Amino acid sequence: KNQVEQSPQSLIILEGKNCTLQCNYTVSPFSNLRWYKQDTGRGPVSLTIMTFSENTKSNGRYTATLDADTKQSSLHITASQLSDSASYICVVGGFGNEKLTFGTGTRLTIIP
Amino acid sequence: GAGVSQSPSNKVTEKGKDVELRCDPISGHTALYWYRQSLGQGLEFLIYFQGNSAPDKSGLPSDRFSAERTGGSVSTLTIQRTQQEDSAVYLCASSLALDRVSYGYTFGSGTRLTVV
């Protein structure tokens, strides 16, 4: 069964600090991995998209890494801001099908 | 439009009633998806439309759920005889079919359905 597991479930950090969110997946065959940010009451917004040949992708203060061999990804947030408070969802796309597999997300709270 | 629009944003309905949820995808996006997000759960795939092809309905949880997409644009998700377990946020997403990997999916803000 295709699964995406994220850790930690929730995280609280001080403004200005860095943090790393983890994602492990068992989706096969694998096509791509995406990180989304979802603010409360809003739909998910794409941060990064990586295919199996990409190891890292950055979007401003967000840097995602992918190890397709170990089926792990991480999202690193640098110099966190209060606006980074949101749920971060790891999503894996299977090759040849359209059904994305979603993780349950990491709830990140940035405190001043 | 500039984004994916969903309506209503909130819907409270009595158990046993039928509800219709609407999704307006981004103009030109031929692929449209419905997902469901229950409290504390990851998004769950419901149904996928691609152009004029037959939709992939494999994610619909029961025959009380149906969806249609008229004219390749607006989509309506209908839930008949709603049950309390149907309470969730229903998200719609659209994508440029030709290059979903590069362009990704754009999600609407969802419809929060509460069945009482």
Q: A62-76, B28-42, B87-101: lowest mean pLDDT where?
A: B87-101
pLDDT tens sequence across A18-49: 999 999 999 888 888 999 999 988 889 989 98
Q: Which residues of A touch B110 (CB under 8 A)?
A: 41-43
Q: Which two tokens stand for residue B40?
A: 């504390």
Q: Are strands A106-111 and A10-14 parallel, antiparallel or unpaired?
A: parallel
Report the alpha-carbon distance of residue B72 to residue B52 in Å, rounded.
Answer: 7
Going by C-alpha positions, the residue among A101, A45, A38, A46 that lies closest to residue A71 is A101
User: Does A98 reach chain B within 8 Å, measured CB to CB?
Assistant: yes
Report the alpha-carbon distance of residue A17 to residue A11 in Å, rounded.
Answer: 12
Helix (H) or strand (E) run with residue B69 in it: strand B65-69
Going by C-alpha positions, the residue among A89, A94, A48 that lies closest to residue A71 is A94
Report the alpha-carbon distance of residue A6 to residue A101 in Å, rounded.
Answer: 12
B18: pLDDT confidence band, cut at 50, 70 and 90?
very high
pLDDT in tens, chain A (112 residues): 788 999 999 999 999 999 999 999 998 888 889 999 999 888 899 899 898 889 999 999 999 999 999 999 999 999 999 999 999 999 998 776 566 788 989 999 999 9
User: Does A102 reach chain B within 8 Å, measured CB to CB?
Assistant: yes
User: Does B52 reach chain A within 8 Å, measured CB to CB?
Assistant: no
How much is the average pLDDT of B12-29? 95
B75-79 sheet: strands from edge to edge: B5-7, B19-24, B75-79, B65-69
